[in-house]
Structure 1
């Protein structure tokens, strides 16, 4: 039986057209004269109403048409007599693919908490909120690939299994085929990984950056977009154990080029979502407004979701150094009145509250901070020869800060000097021999280059206005959470 998506029918169908639609029942309502069935197939947040005359459907069929049941309905498009929709379907025939036991189906037509929906992650995509999030997520992913393709980048697939730690954090998931109860041991009593599948200790990657740099040194401009993993025992609303990273790396780019790319990139993909997900974002905007009503006045956001997205794409990003930012923060009213939870001084890693103050209160526009202290940044960042701090104390790093979320992009110009990079690795306890292949790109035809990382779920979190990162990925992985 051929059919059309509900999105297509709502956009194109004319009165008098006979169509077949298929989907899941959101609601069924019976009156003395008619039966009203609201059907949704996931192609749009909107439902289409099918109307059957009283007595048209057998009682045994009506009993099967409950919330959650899967149907195919054929009928004629007519102008709607009720409010809320322009057209509806005058039902001719209905076929029940799969009934849903109304006593057990957990998604009844009422408001469910996000906590409850996380417990039924296999069904939550059927709700308005999560179907909207997943459509926006798709649009953003498509926009990411389109942007890089249109700008001369090559998509590079970097390994998920790795023997290196790009971040130096050590919080990685081990990959092994050794017997967990009786692993082979070396003479010193440690696990003998030479007998493992890869002949050495391996883990799930925390970043594709290091391998991405190798690609950039051959192809010029590349990007990675794939799953990454961190075994950080964190249950905050901002952390996942499995998440997706977007990481472009560009040969011949310096810090200024990197900032220009990052700003243009995030504006472009957000603009694409606004253009192609208008109904979903309008729904999520209204949802956020309802949530804000339940907050204390001082906790309420000054910007709605759509306002916040326009705020980003309509403003030139303010650019300043970390040192300049610290001076602003130290002299700010919240700092002087002791209202910041964390104190600010040169050399500390800025917290979200500091970043948001700069964006939302001081500059009232997105911000790019540069030239951070090298002691709080990764080993691969290029050391500053000149800066507004003491020479050698800062690196050519950049962080892009957004309203409501703080840092959304982190990047830098990469250290291209072999001697300086080797010395920095030794300084932070990384054995240069372990990354000999990475150092080769500095030994053979080294070039200025830069890149950044954007956690995809952070982007989706910002664009959808959700408060918990576990709600913007279909099946979240977090401590004690891997059921689905």
Structure 2
């Protein structure tokens, strides 16, 4: 006999059919009503048990967390809260869950507590909803690029280059840490290491993706990246996933067009396909915010916020114009900003970005043409020799969600920038070759996957939108 998922039964509602379903017990009330869930939907399926038909020893094995196989007839429900239910005729216990030690009981648990039970937190409604949305977003990302002529490229995870230039990288080595080989100068001799040189976990697949864009035209990476930044905040992870498209023959304007279209498309996909989960997450967020002071509450409910991005054109504003707006803003004049804006060249903080989006323009914003000295070496220098063809996409409630640029395609200019930043040109010989052989205008951007999952689910901490967060002093599970 075919086994159905909970989602299938709730959607098809084949009333009168004998059905089989597998799942985990959410609640077992009055030795009569089992709420079963298999992870396919936010909704449980009620299974009605006539306890006189079943042995007491069997019923005692059924408690929250137990895995069951239930057979019975699907009927219209007589109670409130569900349209259909199963009149149970047979129960098989796959696995019991000791009610005295099973930690995910049917009550409210703090997110901090659930991070300590990361291997079981997926059984809660909140994390099941978040991870279904995460899965839908990943599918939407691949679908968008595949439908728009991009090729999926797997960038290396082990690399000898630092794309961001920040130096906060995890070293990859097989050398004996207690007795490594040393050079004549007393430094670790990486020529004896596995790769014959110093290597690290990648912080970005961008540079490698650029090489493939210059042969395939349009490519994208979607993979894990790593940053050894000792930052314990709600916005940072040591291991995270990045989406990085790179496009030959795209200037900054085409890059901004793509970023806007891409973000709107994937968020619309979630709105169209994850309605039940979004409604649950919105209700959860509204309930959570009741305990917050008024000024800390979200400007918009979750679903309205997603529609706000999908339905509004993104406002394009130069960095210079944004600085003028911020300098003359009430929060800046009244010293309400934590980081006051005093002069051109300031590195914008989340509070400034959110002011532009939520208060001044009331729509998503793309800032472009940033000062060269606060952006990466590979961004194209403008004719003013002060700014680069960079762009950041800013969202309500989160600030920057996408960062990108038109890449510097001129060999001499790129060499000058590398030299000025004291980067070893020999380490990037292959990257410079792109400018020697058939160079062309090209652009790209990066989207932190967990950032967009955070935005789409309303979760306040980035550690709650990835299955197993890796953060300073934490590599459990």
TM-score over 0.5 (shorter chain): yes
Q: Distance in 1 between matches of 2:49 and 2:125?
A: 25
Alignment of 1:90-105 (within 5 A): 90-105=87-102
2:248 and 2:381 map into 1 onto residues whose CA distance is 17
Q: Shift of residue 362 of structure 1? A: 0.3
Taking the aligned partners of 1:299 and 1:232, their CA distance within structure 2 comes to 27
Counterpart position of 2:268 = 271
Alignment-derived partner of residue 411 in structure 1 = 404
Aligned-partner Cα distance in 2 for 1:363–1:308: 15
**1:240 corresponds to which of 230, 233, 237:** 237
- Of 300-309 and 443-452, deviating more is 300-309
Q: Is 1:371 aligned to 2:364, yes or no?
A: no
In the TM superposition, what are the counterparts of 1:325-336 in structure 2 within 5 Å? Answer: 325-336=322-333
The whole-number CA distance in structure 1 between the counterparts of 2:200 and 2:173 is 8
Counterpart-to-counterpart distance in 2, 1:429 and 1:167: 14
* Whole-Å separation in 1 of the counterparts to 2:79 and 2:36: 16
Q: Is 1:14 the counterpart of 2:41 in the alignment?
A: no
1:401 counterpart SS class:
strand
- Among 154, 167, 171, the alignment partner of 1:157 is 154
Q: Which residue of 458, 461, 465 corresponds with 1:465?
A: 458
Q: How far did residue 14 of structure 1 move?
A: 1.9
Unmatched runs of 5 consecutive residues or more in structure 1: 386-390
How far residue 232 of structure 1 moved from its aligned partner, in angstroms, is: 0.3
- Give the deviation of 1:323 after TM superposition: 0.3
Partner of 2:390: 397
Query: In 1, Cα distance between the equivalents of 2:51 and 2:122?
Result: 32
Superposed, which structure 2 residues align to 1:247-258 within 5 Å? Answer: 247-258=244-255
Q: Secondary structure at the match of 2:389?
A: strand
* CA apart distance, 1:53: 1.4
- 1:348 Cα deviation after fit: 1.1
1: CA distance, partners of 2:83 / 2:348: 51
Report the 3-state secondary structure (helix = DSSP H, G, I; strand = E; otherwise coil) of the residue aligned with 1:64.
coil
Q: What secondary structure does 1:55 align onto?
A: helix
Instruction: Give the match's secondary structure for 2:240.
Output: strand
The C-alpha deviation readout for 1:352-390, integer Å capped at 9, x for no partner, is 0000000000000000000000000000000011xxxxx
Does the 8 A contact of 2:2 with 2:19 survive in 1?
A: no
1:453 aligns with 2:450: no
Partner in structure 2 of residue 429 of structure 1: 422
Name the structure 2 match of 1:388: none
| Partner residue in 1 for 2:28 | 28
How far residue 299 of structure 1 moved from its aligned partner, in angstroms, is 1.4
CA shift digits 1:26-78 (9 cap, x unpaired): 000016xxx00000000111100000113122111111100000000001000
The match for 2:74 is 77
Q: How many residues align?
A: 476
C-alpha distance in 1, partners of 2:430/2:292?
Answer: 53
Q: 2:353 aligns with which of 344, 352, 355?
A: 355
| Cα displacement string for residues 107-164 of structure 1 (whole angstroms, at most 9, x for unaligned residues) | 0100000000000000000000000011000000000000000000000001000000
Q: Secondary structure at the match of 1:21?
A: strand
Q: CA deviation at 1:431?
A: 1.4
Q: 1:64 is matched with which residue?
A: 61
CA–CA separation in structure 1 for the residues paired with 2:400 and 2:250: 22
State the match for 1:220 in structure 2: 217
| Matching residue within 306, 313, 318 for 1:316 | 313
SS at match of 2:49: strand
Distance (Å, rounded) in 2 between the aligned partners of 1:245 and 1:348: 26
CA distance in 2, matches of 1:94, 1:43: 20
Deviation at 1:13, TM superposition (A): 2.7
C-alpha distance in structure 2 between counterparts of 1:201 and 1:62, whole Å? 60
Q: Give the 3-state SS of the residue equivalent to 1:185 in structure 2.
A: coil
Q: Does 1:283 align with 2:280?
A: yes
| CA deviation map 1:327-352 (0-9, x unaligned) | 00011110111100001121011000
Matches within 5 A, 1:151-230: 151-230=148-227
Structure 1 outlier segments of 4+, above 6 Å: none
Scaled by the length of structure 1, the TM-score of the pair is 0.98
